[in-house]
């Protein structure tokens, strides 16, 4: 036969353990629930503060001034780099480490970084239905390209891909398809 | 906030109205007042203080537990039962979820809860002070949410019908709220017929009237016998719960497009079936006990009226076009049910031998914990999650407003288009209707060349995963991946913005 005191004690133990289980369960759930798509990085290509409107007919030796804007809303600082790649109509846009690195740095959470780029196609062969670019300058520095040729005509594209350092894998990756591109038609005078 | 989705498109859709109102001046004549509703004022504040309000609004909406507590206390006169009802209002499913984010529906739900509480005191107890508060709440609701105000009008109408059928003395307390709401509605229809438009389907309307009479006959004629009340109540409620769970499952499964079947099954297993057990079962027991104990017709039927009205409205307005499982409807149904669920749970917990109490306590706490977890599901598992915006989408719209020139033509779906329209002035933004290229390729599943008139195309991840949203509803199939391939490999189209969720393409001349 249980006394009233022992019954009360049982109730107290029960209530305390129940509260503990409830709090633990709630904390566990809250901690492991993924926050849906609230962290992100945005990349955009601008020209004079507006959406880029590159002359669709770009002559060899002409300068194109673009601004890449990166906005970090990832909730913490991120180590990133941006690659510029010259491509034709069939270029794979996200091949890693085969472009020209135009920016590398740590962007703080909430920080907006602008990267001004002056691009000039320095050396190219342009014929009637064929084009090939072998040298480009970025902000005054010349780079040899991997002899990018267009397939049909003289249509090319500047591809800007953003890579972020992944702490878990210890390498740079671009899982969210953060890249942009501007097409142009190469001509000669 | 836990889902990362504090925004809902009904909160944004009125921003244009307020912008125009500000541009052309408020209240050019006195009747313009009826064209400005609560949402416009609410949204104008929201636009400038989005971060603050995304935290303050859930706090404000969480006050809904107070009217639920006081309503249950007035009906049952029992503190313990009222506490159970209030806790359930704080943690139950879509109800808790709705009061956890920012939308005009959340505010409307809060005001409706206060109306239910004030109307109990004003109509059944003839309390004049509560009548004043009731009329104030009603006028506030009328300018906030058309559906909720229509629901309250119906509830007041049913109260009058029940009073007449029960041969109760009709007083000004019974009539005034209904007349007040109808008068406001009349003025709103007169001066702003578009936003007050609510179509009642002929078949749905007939079904609603039929349902109303069946429920009324059932409630008026049926008196549960006091002998073996709890045992019979449990058996009766258990059978009805199983039938309801089966019907809900059948209906929800039939609604699901084939490619979204898995999502719906997940939602079902995490939401609907447990709801049937945790909420419907004690709710039915509570209803059984309440009907068998209470003698005054209006007191007896008061909470049941608030449960019946959303059901009837659901039939009248939404059959056969819209899913009956719309979270708005289920939330109003829950609002009326909380006192009954409180009575049911309280009865179940207090019955039986003492030695079973710890077991009951454990089972109840397990249910409550499950209920809490279910109330904050992953975004994808939420019903009507197409109505919410992800932060990257809001950011993309803001970016577009700063960098896309005015007077351009932008193609998107209804979901993203509404948001873009809020941010970008003087542009033609397509909302996934027949004039939209995206809609055309989504419908035909064939890639047509982009129309010359379109200057920008905005694609979201949700279009590729679920499909375009057309006036609040998902189209049944996702946007074909060929669309993205076309946009990215066409030399006339530049990809100028991406954030992982939204991509903006610019079409060149």
Q: Are residues A28 and A99 both part of a single domain?
A: no
Q: Are residues A138 and A87 in the same domain?
A: yes
A18 and A82 both lie in a single domain: no
Mean local confidence (pLDDT), A60-82: 90
Which residues numbered 1-40 in A keep a CB inside 8 Å of some CB on B? 10, 14, 18, 21-22, 25-26, 29-30, 33-38, 40
The pair of structure tokens assigned to B277 is 């057990």
Strand partners, A66: A117
Please state the pTM of the whole predicted model.
0.65
Of B493, B495, B499, the CB nearest to A41: B499
Does residue B283 contact residue B340 with C-beta atoms inside 8 Å?
yes
Angstrom distances, CA of residue B331 to CA of A104, B10, B20? 51, 17, 33
**Strands of B198-294, DSSP E:** none
CA-to-CA distance for A163 and B133, rounded, in angstroms?
A: 59
Q: What is the pLDDT of residues B340-354, one digit of tens each?
A: 988 888 888 777 767
Region B324-342: what's the mean pLDDT? 80
- Tell whether A23 and A90 lie within a shared domain: no
Specify burial of residue B452 (Cβ count, 10 A radius: 0-12, 13-18, 19+).
exposed
Examine the domain organization and report whether A78 and A165 are in the same domain. Answer: yes
Classify the C-alpha dihedral B461-B328-B38-B58 as positive or negative.
negative
What is the C-alpha end-to-end distance of chain A, expressed in Å? 106
Residue B399 at interface with chain A, using a CB cutoff of 8 Å: yes
- The tally of domains found in chain A comes to 2
- The torsion angle over the Cα atoms of residues B165, B167, B338 and B1, rounded to 10 degrees, is 70
CB atoms within 10 A of CB B27: 11
Kindly report which listed range (B29-38, B252-261, B413-422) carries the lowest average pLDDT score. Answer: B29-38
A179 and A134 housed in the same domain: yes
Could B403 and A50 be called an inter-chain contact, meaning their C-beta atoms sit closer than 8 Å? yes
Tell me the residue range of the domain where A6 lies: 1-33
Residues in contact with A153: Cβ distance below 8 Å, sequence separation at least 6, in sequence order:
A129, A130, A131, A185
Question: A29 with A47, same domain?
Answer: no
Complete DSSP assignment for B479-506: PPHHHHHHHHH-TTEEEEEE-SSEEEEE
Tokens 């040899």 correspond to A144
Cβ of residue A73 closer than 8 Å to a chain B Cβ: yes
Q: Which of B284, B279, B310 is nearest to B232 (CA)?
A: B284
The pLDDT score that the predictor gives to residue A31 is: 61
When mean pLDDT is compared over A98-107, A149-158, B346-355, B369-378, the highest value belongs to A98-107
Q: Which residue of B has its CA nearest to A184?
A: B491
Give the pLDDT confidence of A90-99 residue by residue, as tens digits: 777 666 667 8
Residues A120 and A71 in one domain: yes
What is the value of ipTM here, to two decimals?
0.84
**CA torsion, ordered A161, A162, A166, A170, to nearest 10 deg:** 60
Cβ–Cβ contact B368 with A under 8 A: yes
pLDDT in tens, B45-73: 555 555 566 567 677 778 888 999 999 99
Whether residue A110 sits in one domain with residue A172 = yes
Q: Which CATH number covers residue A166?
A: 2.60.40.10
- B174 preceded by cis ω (within 30°)? no
pLDDT of residue A163: 92
Buried b (16+ CB within 10 A) or exposed e, B231-266: eebbeebeebbeebbeebbeebeeebeeebeebbee
Q: Return the closest-CA partner of residue B307 out of B143, B155, B137, B114.
A: B155
CA distance A183 to B442: 26
B500/B328 Cα distance (integer angstroms): 31
Query: How confident is residue B25, by pLDDT bands cut at 50, 70 and 90?
Result: very low
Count of Cβ atoms closer than 10 Å to residue B326 Cβ: 17
Q: Quick one: A78 and A106 in the same domain?
A: yes
CB contact under 8 A, B369 and A22: yes
Task: Kindly state whether residues A9 and A70 are assigned to the same domain.
Answer: no
Gap between the Cα atoms of A122 and A137, Å rounded: 6
pLDDT of the residue at B259? 46
Interface mutation vs chain B, best among A1, A2, A35, A44, most B CBs within 10 Å: A44
Same domain, A143 and A69: yes
Question: Which chain B residues are Cβ-neighbours of A92 within 8 angstroms?
Answer: none
Tokens of B9: 């498109």
What number of C-beta contacts closer than 8 Å exist between A and B? Answer: 124
Task: Give dist(CA B272, CA B266) in Å, integer.
Answer: 10
Name the phi and psi angles at B46, rounded to 5. Answer: -60, -45
Mutate to test the interface with A, among B496, B502, B503, B509 (most CBs of A within 10 A): B496
Beta-strand relationship, A57-59 and A179-187:
parallel
């Amino acid at each position: 036969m249980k006394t009233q005191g022992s019954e009360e004690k049982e109730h107290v133990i029960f209530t305390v353990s129940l509260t503990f289980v409830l709090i633990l369960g709630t904390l566990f759930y809250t901690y492991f629930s993924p926050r849906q798509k609230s962290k992100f990085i945005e990349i955009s290509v601008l020209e004079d503060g507006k959406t880029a409107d590159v002359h669709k007919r770009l002559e060899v030796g002409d300068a194109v001034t673009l601004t890449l804007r990166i906005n970090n809303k990832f909730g913490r600082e991120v180590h990133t780099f941006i690659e510029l790649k010259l491509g034709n109509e069939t270029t794979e846009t996200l091949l890693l480490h085969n472009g020209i690195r135009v920016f590398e740095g740590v962007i703080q959470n909430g920080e907006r970084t602008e990267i001004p780029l002056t691009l000039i196609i320095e050396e190219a062969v342009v014929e009637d239905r064929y084009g090939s670019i072998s040298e480009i300058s970025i902000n005054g520095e010349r780079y040899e390209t991997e002899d990018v040729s267009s397939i049909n005509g003289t249509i090319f594209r500047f591809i800007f891909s953003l890579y972020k350092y992944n702490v878990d894998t210890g390498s740079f990756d671009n899982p969210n398809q953060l890249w942009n591109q501007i097409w142009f038609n190469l001509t000669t005078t | 906030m836990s889902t990362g989705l504090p925004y809902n498109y009904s909160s944004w859709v009125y921003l244009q109205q307020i912008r125009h109102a500000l541009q052309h001046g408020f209240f050019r004549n006195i009747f313009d007042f009826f064209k400005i509703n609560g949402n416009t004022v609410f949204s104008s504040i929201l636009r400038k203080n989005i971060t603050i309000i995304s935290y303050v609004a859930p706090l404000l909406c969480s006050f809904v537990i107070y009217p639920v507590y006081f309503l249950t206390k007035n009906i049952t006169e029992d503190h313990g039962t009222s506490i159970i009802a209030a806790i359930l209002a704080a943690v139950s499913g879509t109800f808790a979820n709705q009061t956890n984010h920012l939308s005009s529906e959340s505010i409307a739900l809060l005001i409706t809860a206060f109306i239910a509480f004030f109307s109990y005191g004003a109509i059944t107890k003839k309390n004049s002070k509560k009548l004043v508060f009731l009329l104030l709440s009603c006028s506030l609701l009328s300018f906030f949410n058309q559906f909720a105000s229509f629901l309250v009008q119906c509830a007041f109408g049913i109260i009058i019908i029940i009073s007449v059928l029960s041969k109760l003395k009709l007083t000004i307390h019974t009539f005034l709220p209904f007349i007040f709401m109808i008068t406001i509605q009349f003025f709103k229809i007169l001066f702003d017929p578009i936003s007050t438009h609510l179509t009642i389907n002929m078949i749905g309307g007939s079904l609603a009237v039929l349902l109303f009479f069946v429920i009324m006959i059932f409630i008026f004629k049926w008196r549960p016998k006091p002998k073996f009340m709890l045992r019979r109540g449990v058996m009766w409620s258990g059978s009805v719960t199983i039938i309801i769970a089966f019907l809900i499952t059948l209906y929800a499964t039939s609604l699901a497009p084939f490619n979204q079947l898995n999502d719906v099954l997940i939602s079902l297993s995490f939401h609907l079936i447990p709801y049937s057990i945790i909420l419907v079962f004690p709710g039915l027991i509570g209803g059984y006990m309440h009907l068998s104990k209470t003698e005054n017709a209006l007191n007896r039927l008061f909470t049941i009226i608030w449960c019946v009205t959303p059901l009837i409205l659901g039939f009248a307005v939404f059959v056969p076009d819209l899913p009956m499982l719309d979270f708005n409807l289920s939330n109003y149904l829950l609002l009326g049910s909380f006192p009954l669920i409180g009575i049911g749970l309280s009865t179940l917990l207090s019955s039986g031998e003492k030695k079973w109490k710890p077991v009951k306590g454990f089972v109840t706490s397990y249910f409550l914990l499950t209920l809490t977890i279910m109330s904050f599901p992953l975004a994808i598992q939420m019903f009507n999650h197409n109505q919410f915006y992800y932060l990257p989408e809001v950011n993309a719209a803001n970016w577009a407003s700063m960098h896309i020139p005015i007077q351009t033509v932008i193609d998107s779906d209804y979901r993203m288009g509404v948001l873009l329209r809020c941010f970008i002035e003087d542009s033609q933004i397509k909302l996934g209707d027949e004039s939209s290229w995206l809609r055309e390729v989504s419908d035909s599943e064939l890639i047509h060349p982009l129309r010359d008139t379109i200057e920008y195309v905005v694609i979201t991840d949700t279009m590729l995963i679920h499909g375009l949203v057309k006036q609040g509803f998902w189209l049944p199939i996702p946007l074909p991946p060929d669309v993205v391939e076309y946009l990215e490999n066409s030399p006339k189209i530049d990809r100028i913005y991406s954030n992982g969720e939204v991509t903006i393409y610019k079409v060149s001349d």
